[in-house]
Structures are given as C-alpha cells and as structure tokens.
Amino acid sequence: MENKRPEWTSYISFIIATIGSAVGLGNIWRFPYIMGEYGGAVFLLVYLFMVALICAIPLAVELAMGKIYKSDVVSVYEKINSRFKIFGIIGGITAVLIPAFYFVVGGWIINYIWIFLINDIPADFSAYFLTMNANPYIPLSLTVLFLLCTIIFPFIGLNKGIERANNIMMPLFGIMLILLAGYALTLSGAQEGLRFMFKPDFSKFSGEMILAALGQALFTLSIGMGAMITYGSYLKKEVNIRKSVYTLIFFDTVVAMLAGIMIFPIVFTNGIEPTAGATLVFISLPQIFLSLPFTRVLAVIFFLLLFFAAITSGISLLETSIACLCDRFKMSRKKSALLIFLAVLLLALPSSLSFGLMTDIRIFDKTFFDFLDYITSNILMPFGSLAAVIIAGWYAKNIAKEAFGEGNFARLLTFLLKFVLPPVLIAVLIIGLN
C-alpha cells in the first residue's frame, strides 16, 4: 500500500486542494498590505496582468511536470535529466524553509483566535503584539501547535488527509470570506475603500511596483518550489492542465480581490493608512474590530478564515518535502512526516524567537524570520520558476505540450515560455538581490 503512489480521487478534489495551496496568507495577509504600499488600483492592474500572462505559464509547466513524471520534485527534475536534480533539491529545501516563517504567522493566528474567543481583549494591539512576541514560549508553542494542526493531514495521507482537509476547510473559508466582504461593504468607508482598490492613480506607477506585483503573483500561486509539481504528480492522465490553470487562477484572484474588498472598507472607515504594512492584519485590523459592533464574532470569523487559508497552504508546503522522503528513500508517509516535522521545528525555533530573544541576531542585517521570508520569496522561488521555465522551454519539449495543449494559443504560450519568461524572471532575480 505504502509504496503505491496515491492519486486524487476526483478532479474536483484536485482543484480544491490546489486552490487551497494557492489561497493562503499570501492572499489575505500579504496581498492587501503590498497593494496598500504600492498605491492600490494601479498595483492591482499590474498584478492581474502578471498573474494572467506571466505566472499562468510556470504554473501550467509545474503541474505538467508532475503529471508527466509522477514523482516528488527532486525525482521529477532528475528524470528530466540527472544534471537538473539540483533544482529539485533546492525546491525540496525551500519547501522546508517557507513553513519555518509561515507557520510562525500561523501561531499568531491561533493566538488571536484564542483571545477573541475566550480571553480578555487587549486595548492596544500594537503593545500586545510586541509583548506576545517578547515572550519566548508562547509564540513558539503556538507555532508548534500550528505545525501539528497542519502536518497531521499529510501524515494521514493524500485522500483521507489532504483531500478531506481541503474539502472541508475551503468551502468554510469561502463562506466566511463572502460574509465578511459583504459586511465590510455596508460600512461607511466602503466607497473610499473600493475607490482605492479600483480607481487607478497612474502617478503611482513604478518599476519597483512591477516587481512587487510579480513577486506577489509567484508567491500566491505557490510557484517555484515544487508544491504544484507535487500536486500535479497525483493527477490522472485525462486531466486537462490548461483548464485547471484557468480555474485555479480565477479562484485565487477572486479570493485576493474579496480579501481587499473585506479589508479596505474597514481600514478606510477607521481612517487608518492602508500602508500599515505587514502588521495591518495583526495590529491595525484587530484594533479596528474593537470599535465595530460584534467585535468578538467578527474577529473570530476573520482569524478562523485566516487559519483555514494558512493550513491548506501549509499542507501543500509540507507535502512537497514529505513526498521527497517517501519517494526517494522509500520511507513510509508517517516516518517522512515525522522527519519533516523535526526539520521544520528546528528552523522555526530561531524564526519564532526573531521577534523576541533573538531580535539582535542578524543574517545580512535581517532577523532570521525576515531572512527566511526574503530568500524564499525573492530568491529561491523566482530562481525555481526560472529553472522550470528554461527546462520546459528548451530541454524537455513534452512538458510544454502537456501544459498548453495544441493550437495557435498553445504556440503563443510556448513562445512566451521560451523567450519572454526567462528574461523577465532574471530581471526579478537581479533586482530582488539588490
């Protein structure tokens, strides 16, 4: 049993799980604040362009690679050519590095659910956020708790664990998101919020913004480290990749927009700057919840929604590295999950302490948490996407065929794959390194 490679039970389960992977903290936490920083509607336009025309291509390529070679990310690259194995190894490592900071945020989410559910609600969230993180034990224990809540599903297995978790959590997530976005639209700042999102101010256009939009698009679609290769590897033969990519991109984008529609009216109603940055969701927003009716209900729904989004993305991150151990070392799923649990734990330790005890320990002038975030999103993921794109464009032609199908549109996509994407991604990497 253990050695037989699992498959998705249905197309719908596959799509829900891939949407679960794509829709995560990237959409709800990162997207609004990055959009806030880069001026709103103009960023949204560039972002939509990046998602539809640039990132759809590596997304299709990664799913196709998995579907054709039916293995973990390392073996997929090795099967294409043993020289390429290194890219798979980098992907597998990235899949352990991302959880080491992503899951720390997961721990904060649990903390917020807990305070809004049963604890006394603090009056000043910026002070609260600092105190919470200055304590060495609580954030770390919550990170471990979040890790346990996530790893349990790949530990159980693809069909009974991963699929089930996604099939339950994603619809709940969707309902809560629509509820909150609908509520936000009834607030007095709704118009201003919507104007900020949809009425472009072209003076805000900048080169840096274009890169931020591309980085965000790669991150939100889980491209460049093997998660989509791994999920693609459980696909049945008859699945059409191009169609799956349209569906996936549609949902991921709708969720990001709804997240904006949910957050900006709340922000503008309360006169907070949308440029509050990474702390928007953990400091500004909870502070605003205090002034709205039904504080606890609102806040609990919001943080539960964030929790589900983070878990379903976390599952795909962990599955990527767990599959490597299962496939390459013929280890059982349970043993692989245990080893990955330990590896993530080891890295999450300094990452979680970055906000307290270890703030002064810097790598390239960054705390360990920021360093992990930086190297994964700005270097490893664009690099991983570049590798996938060059290999599919120039070495293994069967991949593009599987990814795009046939016809004129497929030829256009192949042209973009070969000639447009590599220079664009190289530019991101170079600028990202500065």
- Catalog residues that contact ligand PHE under the rule CB under 6 A: 21-22, 24-27, 98, 219-220, 222, 225, 227, 313, 316-317
Closer by beta carbon to ligand PHE, 244 or else 287: 244
- Work out how close the CB of 179 gets to ligand PHE at its nearest, in angstroms, rounded to a whole number: 21
Alpha carbon separation from 323 to 3, 154, 336 (Å, rounded): 11, 9, 8
Closer by beta carbon to ligand PHE, 21 or else 133: 21
- Work out how close the CB of 315 gets to ligand PHE at its nearest, in angstroms, rounded to a whole number: 9
Closer by beta carbon to ligand PHE, 128 or else 146: 146
Q: Nearest CA to 101 among 291, 413, 301, 353? A: 353
- Quote the tokens at residue 284: 């500004």
Closer by beta carbon to ligand PHE, 21 or else 351: 21
Contact 222, 45 (CB under 8 A): no
- Work out how close the CB of 256 gets to ligand PHE at its nearest, in angstroms, rounded to a whole number: 9
- Work out how close the CB of 211 gets to ligand PHE at its nearest, in angstroms, rounded to a whole number: 17
Which residues fall within 8 angstroms of residue 323, CB to CB, at 6 or more apart?
71, 72, 73, 230, 233, 336
- Work out how close the CB of 222 gets to ligand PHE at its nearest, in angstroms, rounded to a whole number: 3
- Work out how close the CB of 122 gets to ligand PHE at its nearest, in angstroms, rounded to a whole number: 26
Closer by beta carbon to ligand PHE, 227 or else 416: 227
Closer by beta carbon to ligand PHE, 205 or else 374: 374
Q: In sequence order, what E strands does 91-220 have?
A: none
In whole angstroms, what is the distance from residue 305 CA to residue 303 CA?
5
- Work out how close the CB of 21 gets to ligand PHE at its nearest, in angstroms, rounded to a whole number: 5
In whole angstroms, what is the distance from residue 26 CA to residue 224 CA?
15
Taking the CA atoms of 189, 190, 193 and 199 in sequence, report the sign of the dihedral they define: negative
- Work out how close the CB of 231 gets to ligand PHE at its nearest, in angstroms, rounded to a whole number: 10
In whole angstroms, what is the distance from residue 88 CA to residue 65 CA?
12
Closer by beta carbon to ligand PHE, 233 or else 269: 233
In whole angstroms, what is the distance from residue 369 CA to residue 355 CA?
8
Q: Nearest CA to 321 among 242, 252, 225? A: 225
Contact 95, 317 (CB under 8 A): yes
Closer by beta carbon to ligand PHE, 74 or else 227: 227
Q: What angle do CA 253, 203, 199 make, to 5 degrees?
A: 45
